[in-house]
Amino acid sequence: MAHRTLTPVFVGLRTGLHLLSAALLAVVVVRVLIVRPSTMGAALALAGCFAVLYLLGARITALAPRRRAAAGAAWIVALTVCWVALLILVPEAAYLVFPLFFLYLHVLRGAAGPIAVVVTTLIAVVALGLHGGFTMGGVVGPLVGAGVALLIGLGYRALAREAAEREALLSELIRTRDRLAAAEREQGVLAERGRLARDIHDTVAQGLSSIQMLLHAAEAADGDRPGIEHIRLARETAAEGLADTRRFIRELVPPTLEGGLAAALQRLGAQGAQAGRTVCVEVTGDESVLRMDEQTALLRIAQGAIANIGQHAHADTIELVLDAAPEGTILVVRDDGVGFDPAEVRAGAAAAGSFGLRAIAERVEQLGGELTIDSAPGQGTTLTVTLHGGSA
């Protein structure tokens, strides 16, 4: 698996390994051609077989992950058998064990790689000893090579594992950034739509309403005066314009917030009651101090909290309290369920990649507020969201 952050390092290591294998195999072939033993044909055939098998290893990386492990193990076994056969005929083939060390550590998982390195080191030492007698160089050389290969191979494994972890973390950060950007765009749209709705309500709608009331009063004062038909027509036109304006305002306001945040919370409580739970909703203060994006976020937080209660808390009673004021707004969701350890749940949600409390916390953070969770096993849960004043 290629890792973008360390691709040049891995490419360099693999290229060096391929060049080393090609050079050592060339040494073996040249040695066979110079010495011209009686087994030259068989030795050259085995050298060619080794080269072909080595090149086939590049095809294994294109396989699916499930098939790759089995195919890689079969490939390395075939390559080792070919090497052992070549080693019997040509003692210089012992040097090919050095690139094999790295292949074992790369292809074989767990302890299989180091074990293969030890076994092939012993085979190389014995083969060199049988061909030319046991010498200090014939024993120490393969042992030193095996030690170096183990250090480099294990370092390569650690590097690849760290690269995979970094890439996974980077992917998670990118997904989180995209979610936050989408949430910010959504909140920006909602805030702008809310501002437009308030502006239209406070200007055009109020003006049309006043014109309609004045024309209605003029029409009622003297129904027989000249020009009454024009007054009546003006009043009807103003009434139609007011109706259209109110329709525009309703379309600008999110459907879930039709009638305001208090009405939406009451509907949410009614839905909870239909599910067999007792839901008490209390709204105090003036919700108009909240921006439209804040109202939407608080409603989503309440919906998420009640959904979590239904899934996990097994509660009979839920209290939903909203206190909106210019100096600050507080939303409290309280239940009499089984409760939990907030620290354990946060750790479990992060490991599983689920949203739950994390989604609620992200919404509160985006609003610049504070989230407090008071809970313990068997003692129910109280979730408190505090938004500071001065934002509206």
DSSP class per residue in 25-69: HHHHHHHHHHH--TTHHHHHHHHHHHHHHHHHHHHHTTS-HHHHH
Measured between alpha carbons, how far is 172 from 159 in angstroms, rounded to an integer? 20
* Mean pLDDT rounded to a whole number for the chain: 79
User: How far apart are the C-alpha atoms of 87 and 28, rounded to whole Å?
Assistant: 10
Q: Cα–Cα distances in Å, from 378 out to 203, 247, 307, 343, 381?
A: 53, 49, 19, 16, 9
pLDDT digits (tens, 9 = 90+) for 160-172: 778 778 888 888 8
- Kindly state whether residues 165 and 185 are assigned to the same domain: no
Query: Using an 8 Å Cβ cutoff, are 91 and 135 in contact?
Result: no
Residues 127 and 195 in one domain: no
| Structural domain total, the chain | 3
pLDDT of residue 251: 62
Do 58 and 158 sit in the same domain of this protein?
Answer: yes
Q: Answer whether residue 292 shows pLDDT above 60.
A: yes
Find the domain containing 267 and state its range: 259-388
Report the alpha-carbon distance of residue 38 to residue 22 in Å, rounded. 24
The reply to whether 205 and 226 lie within a common domain is yes
Give me the long-range contacts of 198-201 (CB less than 8 A, separation at least 24): 200/245, 200/248, 200/249, 200/252, 201/249
User: What's the pLDDT at 348?
Assistant: 56
Give the model confidence (pLDDT) of 189-245 as tens digits. 776 776 676 667 666 766 677 777 777 777 776 666 666 777 777 777 777 777 777
| Ranges 33-37, 144-148, 190-194, 388-392: which has the least confidence | 388-392
Specify whether 149 is located in the same domain as 239: no
* Residue 24 shares a structural domain with residue 160: yes
Handedness of CA 48, 54, 59, 63 (dihedral sign): positive
**Range with top average pLDDT, 1-5, 181-185, 294-298:** 294-298
